[in-house]
Structure 1
């Protein structure tokens, strides 16, 4: 990722009028540019796939009981998700522009400091060159791009990368803005309380079939949320997303500790 990112950065231009064209230039004119970009984009997806497998393995074998290691891993996950989001904006495509607008606006729900934080993130009163420059400075990946950005046309359905879809589905399942932001953060930060929800005397789930079943339900539920996050915000996907989001937290906060007691 670092090597391909360095070569991509050599040809990328962090300017709202040139960013999309520079990505197209990389794919069309730079020798093996299309290969570098595909390796970089698909490498990021594969990286997150391995991370999610690693989290599942940690839950199965009880690695969360090593609290310092588990908390370090959770913080690294948050940093990786933030880095991937920054890269999602860089191509300045239609989806990336409006995705950045929606996600950065979420911080405006914070009392007192919300609007100031949004303006600081943007580097002004709207997403512009300063925003793109900041994101490019902090980021080292470049995700897939579809269409050039048009701030005057809002796409009917914003869909982030697949590894964000489960959290995005939880976010939009709650109509209240503050509640949605809280649920979004909780969907990832819930990993920090997993060590305190371990109620079994056994470390692993090898000899705990009920805990194994609960873990499989969690995996299926996350897959369902991922699918819902890719669907438009309309019936019946809204109600399915709300049910799946509620089930997500019930499985972690109630079913996992109860299964450990069995």
Structure 2
């Protein structure tokens, strides 16, 4: 065990040219561990009951300073987690990490599971926006041909989102956290097996290599502490920066919010989904983009290709634009722009992976 630990975390040969973008993986892992830790503590104080879940969550903010910090760290932490995740995936795309199929496949599965984990966690407070977001997004499953209604009943536990859904969501949310933790270890195993995608790194050469400790362990630790400092600032000065006002209203089955929207990290996909009149059409467009994002190809790094760099930053710009458009009211001209940007982004991702 000691030899394995030293080989992977102390004596690991690393190219000295790695920048701070490569430290995002370590910081991301640490924040995931913190999210699981705070989530386990919160689960001790949570009751999955549609009559009292909202009041239990609100009491966490009012009972004591410790429970307030615990709840808001978990809320702010998931936002920081997705910021780091997008940086990490962007770095992997830019440097062509999808060529290393083992690392890329496990990492992509992790991304899907983290999205599922975040969505189930968003439902648990059972406030107005979380209830209606769950109602709208689970209805997509019901729209699937043939098997849709059957799967929908198993997912929500009945004919609509209810207290049974809340119990199932809590179970899935807790289990997924530990599944993600295990897959992170598998991801690290594949990374150390084949090496990273740094264009200056050669796995079969020992030129320009240094030990991971203390050169990069200190670098990762510094970035982690800086990120924690930013989270603490966010926590104590602007804790409700990204919290919707509907999150402080109890779920009302008879009153629909003016604009139903998920958290910001789902807004790009939400914009694609609602800009198409057909639910199946929007779902197919999302699946097409996600499939193209995942599919491993032989395309190399963007470092030495100006065309690939332009293509990459166009995709990033379109994704950010769709994130903004997803927060806008679904009306003209936003829907038309969403349709245009969605199709262009899928085509640009296809070109990026092929060439």
Q: Indicate whether the TM-score tops 0.5.
A: yes
What is the distance in 2 between the residues matched to 1:120 and 1:42?
31
1:144-182 CA distance string (max 9 Å, x none): 533210011111211111111111111111111111122
Query: For residue 294 of structure 2, what is the aligned residue in structure 1?
Result: 192
TM-score (norm 1): 0.91
Return the match for 2:260 from 158, 163, 171: 158
Deviation readout 1:196-246 (Å, 9 max, x if unpaired) = 2x44xxx32111111111111111111000000111101111111111111
- For CA contacts below 8 A with separation 6 or more, give which structure has more relative contact order: 2
Report whether the alignment pairs 1:214 with 2:311. Answer: yes
- For 1:74 and 1:190, how far apart are their aligned partners in 2? 12
Q: Does 1:4 align with 2:106?
A: no
Tell me how large the CA RMSD over aligned residues is: 1.7
Pairing 1:228–2:228 present: no
Aligned length: 252
Contact 2:292–2:353 (8 Å) recurs in 1:
no
In structure 2, which of residues 146, 152, 157 is the aligned counterpart of residue 123 of structure 1? 157
CA distance in 1, matches of 2:71, 2:287: 30
State TM-score, norm by structure 2.
Answer: 0.68
What is the distance in 1 between the residues matched to 2:96 and 2:160? 45
**Mapped contact 1:95–1:146 kept (Cα < 8 A):** no
Partners in 2 of 1:237 and 1:26 — Cα distance? 38
Structure 2 gaps, min length 5:
1-34, 178-241
Residues 167-178 of structure 1 mapped to structure 2, 5 A cutoff: 167-178=269-280
Choose from 152, 167, 187 the match for 1:133: 167
1:257 Cα shift?
A: 4.8
Q: Rg larger in 1 or in 2?
A: 2
Superposition deviation, residue 22 in structure 1: 0.5
Structure 1 residues 30-39 or 13-22, which shifts more? 30-39
